[in-house]
Structure 1
């Protein structure tokens, strides 16, 4: 089988940084503010000038970020001191005292997925512009989603756009909308008081905003004082769920590599892990890009979903159903038999499949593949969404074998009934070789999704949880191996 490693390496770059709040305990906030307020104005100007000279060129617009972090601590200002009573320079300096740079990919840049770019304007005939998602990991092992753009030429050559030095977080849309049915289903799964949630939700339309929800929650709280422990828990859970479903938006002026999705909600505070993007085409031809990912809060993991049409405006959503657990959910790129289909691994061992009338509600998984080869005897899972071919659904898999060695394999599922396994490779498609074996987690190759261009499988893959590369595979050779045809 013809497999070609392309020699492209996406290595972590520590110089790509964002500004994050650096907020100490309240007593230190108060003492730091006291020292900042005691400075002479001339000293403030000199200190701010030094900060801006040192950091301004590392960010697109540093001052709004410093002002935002000032706002996080301004409630601790001494009595009689207001933001309006302070010079802009002192406000900016205080913001800098409660800010710090964070290197997004200082530890790793790995677990890529790849989809066609939504804008193919100006692409030469036979070429394809793509977007690649990557898991970036920095200090404290916090993971976020980065993007890269590139081009596959008609001759199959692959070129990546040079990544920008700058990285920008999106605007968080302040008043996102929610679907009432999905919201109620998730609350029911979380086991909160049904009567109390019904009273809150009864006042809301089928589609409601965060402002609508806040008013209903506020009314419920005001009408039931003093609040019982159960009411407090219920209302806090409603707020938590609302916070976990949010919208973000990037400026259209930002290059693809300048966009970063960093954890926003509490349930993903320690990381957004292993996004599996897929270009989904609905029955009416509408295209939506979905990604499943693992939200991690430092203790628990929770599968979530991202939706976008343009990689500028994103909806982040919780998933519902008793099968929403563990890692590795991967959505099929179209409906199968009139229903959404999803690969999964709820038991942390076997490859499973589920069907649903909604992309947000999942239950009743069934096993379609178990570990059976020496190289996957520990467990198997998917390496991204299935890819449709004339021979069946091509599923890239990963297997864990002796010495916790991760390899990438492939199976073929029936197009009409993907619970049926047509064929599976008896040996890995890709195994860690040479320098690929060395990294944060040695002896690992892994992917979150590939695509087909012409008769080539384009397979981005991670090497030992450190960096990423790209391989190409002859689709004809691969399908022949999976179907047993010469």
Structure 2
């Protein structure tokens, strides 16, 4: 299969920038609820030392802190005060803080964190909810990206950009500033908390960073697969992602309508215990549908009545060609075409090389595989082989624009490249699949 007939790699790259930092909790233990007696004692020692300073010395020290850090963050004094308020539950009785003391105390329980120092990769792409300013014949998009910093902790961040009428891509300039989402609400559940976070509308979308909040996410929010979901005529941007706590994983869901406020919820059921669930962009037969991998090898079609609970499923794809003999997985949500559902997949082959392929599923019955790629559509080029995890190309979601697919993809778990694919030529390049070839996995799978 010749890539040149339908694939156009763009001269556009998105690299991690270690100079981009956020302010995070810091202290003997970052969360007051987790502090043991020794942690609490140390925290109160800090308070005692700050309150022992005379007003002039405290003001001078706070001014020095601001001189060092104020241009690197928005609303830094407010962040200091909020952190001091958060720590009050572990402080012993003390006199009322002056405003200067409260701000200075809060500064001792925060630190800067370079959230994308190690990598910026595994992107997904959707139409921007605000198309004002889009070029004639083009569109604006939102790119979600997995950022990795110190301690290999993954967070979720964003970029915006433009597709021009001629198919060329551009990414808007990235802000120097970055801010972690503000926690707004938590609903405690036995099997995991639902949380809501929000960003201030000031600043650029590239400033927004969703950092792990719950225990299940403590070591990472990984590989969000965003899709613009049609919920009865209203567009809701939803993504499944992998929550990692340092020991185990599970699939969770994030939802937004404006990329300012987000709701994050754990998915439940036997089909939600593995990585890489990809949500269809609309209901099928009145039910929500996902493509998921349940056995670390094959892909399954799974349905749900309520979006949160996922059980059962029917296997529809297994590794068939040498480039995917180890395992296959999703590369984002299916894309609806007149011809069927276009699903990008990843395959793992010899020497753990990752490549990207595609399959075409029947529009009415997605358990029917109509065609698939015998050879990879995208494989690591010589210039793309080196990185944190070598020999990998990977994406968490593509987007249709007119007669082409916009495909952002990660290079060796380090940075992002971009390509466009002509849909007509891609479909012609896929090998038709006869019914007998998929009989080994297909059972009744009607929604």
Alignment partner of 1:252 out of 189, 201, 214: 201
Larger relative strand fraction: 2
- Rounded Cα–Cα distance in structure 1 between residues aligned with 2:344 and 2:62: 53
Q: Distance in 2 between matches of 1:315 and 1:32?
A: 35
1:267 aligns with 2:271: no
List runs of 5+ in structure 2 lacking aligned partners: 29-38, 434-447
Query: What is the alpha-carbon distance in structure 1 between the residues aligned to residue 199 and residue 59 of structure 2?
Result: 32
150-159 or 314-323, larger mean C-alpha shift: 314-323
**What is the correspondence of 1:231-380 to structure 2 with a 5 Å cutoff?**
239=189, 241=191, 244-282=193-231, 284-380=232-328
Does the residue aligned with 1:73 lie in a helix, a strand or coil?
helix
CA RMSD of aligned residues (A): 1.7
Secondary structure (helix, strand or coil) at the match of 1:50 reads helix
Offset of residue 240 of structure 1? 5.3
Residue pair 1:440, 1:466 contacting (<8 A) in 2 also: yes
Partner of 2:430: 482
- Specify the alignment match of 1:125 in structure 2: 136
Tell whether 2:21 aligns with 1:17. yes
1:253-279 deviations in whole A, cap 9, x for unaligned?
A: 332111111111111111111000001
Aligned partner of 2:396 among 444, 448, 460 = 448
Deviation at 1:53, TM superposition (A): 0.3
Choose the corresponding residue for 2:110, options 99, 117, 137. 99
| Aligned counterpart, 2:168 | 157
After TM superposition, give the deviation of residue 239 of structure 1 in Å.
4.9
1:386-405 alignment to 2 at 5 Å? 386-405=334-353
Q: Answer yes or no: is 1:409 the counterpart of 2:423.
A: no
From the superposition, tell whether residues 353 and 67 of structure 1 become closer, same or farther in structure 2 (CA, over 3 Å): same
* Residue matched to 2:444: none
1:8-157 pair list within 5 angstroms: 8-24=12-28, 25-79=39-93, 81-82=94-95, 84=96, 86-157=97-168
Q: Check the 8 A contact 1:110/1:463 in 2, yes or no.
A: yes
Q: Deviations over 1:20-47 (max 9, x none)?
A: 1111133322333333233333322221
- Whole-angstrom CA distance in 1 between matches of 2:184 and 2:203: 17
Match of 2:442 in 1: none
- What stretches of structure 1 of length at least 5 have no aligned partner? 177-209, 211-237
1:167 pairs with 2:178: yes
How far the C-alpha of 1:325 sits from its partner, in A, is: 0.7
Q: Following TM superposition, by how much is the alpha carbon of 1:399 offset from its aligned partner in structure 2, in angstroms?
A: 0.5
- What is the match of residue 216 of structure 1? none
Once the two structures are TM-superposed, the CA of residue 62 in structure 1 deviates from its matched residue by 0.3
SS in 1 for 2:274: coil
Answer whether contact 1:341 1:353 (CA < 8 A) is retained.
yes
Q: Whole-Å Cα distance in 2 between the matches of residues 37 and 75 of structure 1?
A: 17
**In structure 2, how many angstroms separate the alpha carbons of the residues matched to 1:157 and 1:61?**
37
Give the aligned partner of residue 31 of structure 2. Answer: none
State the alpha-carbon separation in 1 of the partners of residues 80 and 105 from structure 2.
8
Is the CA contact (8 Å cut-off) linking 2:224 and 2:396 kept in structure 1?
Answer: yes
Task: Report the number of matched residues.
Answer: 419
Measured against aligned partners, the alpha-carbon deviations of 1:366-395 in whole angstroms (never above 9, x if no partner) come to 111111111111100010000111221111
Cα distance in 1 for partners of 2:91, 2:347 equals 56
Distance 1:59 1:240 in 2: 36
Distance across 2 between alignment mates of 1:339 and 1:77: 51
Question: Displacement, 1:171?
Answer: 2.7
- Aligned-pair CA distance for 1:14: 1.2
What TM-score do you get using the length of structure 1 for normalisation?
0.83
Residue 35 of structure 2: aligned partner: none
Work out the CA distance in 2 between the residues paired with 1:173 and 1:401.
Answer: 44
| 8 Å Cα contact 1:63-1:92 kept in structure 2 | yes
Q: Classify the secondary structure of the residue corresponding to 1:323.
A: helix
Partner Cα separation in structure 1 for residue 141 and residue 151 of structure 2? 31
- 1:78 deviates by 4.8
* Contact 1:422/1:482, CA 8 A, preserved across alignment: no
SS at structure 2 position matched to 1:173: strand
Return the offset for 1:124.
Answer: 2.9
